[in-house]
Amino acid sequence: MRGGVAPSRVYLPKGPWTTLLDFLVERFRHVPPIVLQGRLERGEIVDEAGVPQSPDSPYTGLRWLWYYREVPQEADVPFDLPVLYRDRYLVAVDKPHFLASTPGGRYLRETALTRLRLALDMPLLSPIHRLDRDTAGVLLFCADPESRGAYQALFQSREVRKEYEALAPPSGDVVLPLLRRSLIQPRPGHFTMQEVDGEPNSETHIELVEESGGLGLFRLRPHTGRKHQLRVHMSGLGMPICNDNFYPELKAYAESDDFSRPLQLLARSIEFTDPVCGRKRRFESLRRLGGRSQASPGANGLPSRHDGLRCPATGC
């Protein structure tokens, strides 16, 4: 680990390249060749044995190279990441809006995983599932590498009960509660998703909790976990989630985030039977949508208020 970030790797297939630099320039077309050359000259790209490579190293396929990703001018996310629960197997946190779950793309150090590895001194911490960067709420990590598979299997077999909240304008044409079922597929040429005709692959139970000032507070219970599922389903019903920059229409790309306009979607709770100890687990976010009051973390990183939080081990 370096600063809480694990090294990345790239596989070298069989190919016609003469030098290693030739391959890297073609493989990473979005990176200026002078940057790749500089990293090789500084010995920042190594083989499996840790031997630094150079720009004129002859190309040899069928092996791995290792390096640390660099993200220039990564913007700070000015929100806390309270720890809701921690034991030798699990870490549950209350992720804020705008913070990515794990490193990827433009985000490296300003991610929940990297922050936690540093703050908790847990370099082997790994994600069990993910939340979209735009979504806040309960997020789980595994502290024991040997137990990670058992926890991930819960999500794959749909043995985890997840509940979300969303703020959106209600529609008089939609009778609630309802079960939204549809076939969600990637939109051609885009990273967003769309509903199309065909056998459904997604299900969300949707109900209206309360309505005020032209907005509704909705409770969403997904039975499946398709990309952007809740946002797509709410938009498809004519009730797009407030401050959604992707649905129903993709907004113009912005170089920086508007922290005053978070997506009004919150992962309120996660509940499951722990595969390691057999206890019932339930973790709840202490955040509120729409600027309503929320608990602040104490000096030790734990929430200073525990309503809705149940620790099966201690009863606290």
Mean pLDDT calculated for residue range 159-169: 98
Between the alpha carbon of residue 155 and those of residues 61, 162, 266, the distances in Å are 37, 10, 18
Mean pLDDT calculated for residue range 222-248: 97
User: What pLDDT does residue 3 have?
Assistant: 85
Res. 301: pLDDT tops 70: no
CB 263 within 8 A of CB 165: no
Res. 299: pLDDT tops 70: no
Mean pLDDT calculated for residue range 116-140: 96
Q: pLDDT-based confidence at 70, cuts 50/70/90?
A: confident
Mean pLDDT calculated for residue range 186-210: 96
Average pLDDT, whole number, for the chain?
Answer: 91
Res. 315: pLDDT tops 60: no
CB 112 within 8 A of CB 95: yes
Q: What is the dihedral of CA 110, 115, 118, 119, to 10 degrees?
A: 140
Res. 192: pLDDT tops 90: yes
Residue 62: beta bridge partners? none
Please state, for a pLDDT cut of 90, what percent of the chain lies above it: 84
User: What pLDDT does residue 291 have?
Assistant: 61
Render the burial of 137-157: b for 16+ CB within 10 Å, e for the rest. bbbbbbbbeebbeebbebbee
Type and span of the H or E element at 35: helix 33-41
CA–CA dist 234, 160 (Å, integer): 22
CA–CA dist 280, 313 (Å, integer): 10
User: What pLDDT does residue 1 have?
Assistant: 84
Each residue's pLDDT tens digit, 9-54:
999 999 999 999 999 999 999 899 999 999 999 999 999 999 999 9
Choose the catalytic residue: 22, 87, 132, 197.
Answer: 132
Res. 102: pLDDT tops 80: yes
Of 108, 22, 6, 97, nearest in space to 58 by CA: 22
Between the alpha carbon of residue 23 and those of residues 19, 46, 67, 294, the distances in Å are 7, 15, 15, 51
- In sign, the C-alpha dihedral spanning 233, 235, 240, 246 is positive
pLDDT: which is higher, 1 or 137: 137
User: What pLDDT does residue 126 have?
Assistant: 96
Between the alpha carbon of residue 82 and those of residues 51, 53, 115, 257, 306, the distances in Å are 40, 41, 11, 21, 12
pLDDT: which is higher, 239 or 300: 239
Render the burial of 254-287: b for 16+ CB within 10 Å, e for the rest. eeebeeeebbbbbbbbbbbebeeeeeebbbbbbb
SS (H, E, C) 170-186: CCCCCCCCEEEEEEEEE
User: What pLDDT does residue 308 have?
Assistant: 32
What's the chain's length in residues?
316
Residue 132: active-site member: yes
User: What pLDDT does residue 147 have?
Assistant: 96
User: What pLDDT does residue 142 have?
Assistant: 98
Residue spans of beta strands (DSSP E) within the chain: 8-12, 46-47, 63-67, 83-86, 90-95, 126-127, 136-142, 161-168, 178-186, 193-196, 202-212, 215-222, 265-273, 280-284
User: What pLDDT does residue 312 have?
Assistant: 32
CA–CA dist 277, 268 (Å, integer): 24
End-to-end CA distance of the chain: 34
User: What pLDDT does residue 2 have?
Assistant: 86
Res. 316: pLDDT tops 60: no
Res. 95: pLDDT tops 50: yes
Q: pLDDT-based confidence at 292, cuts 50/70/90?
A: very low
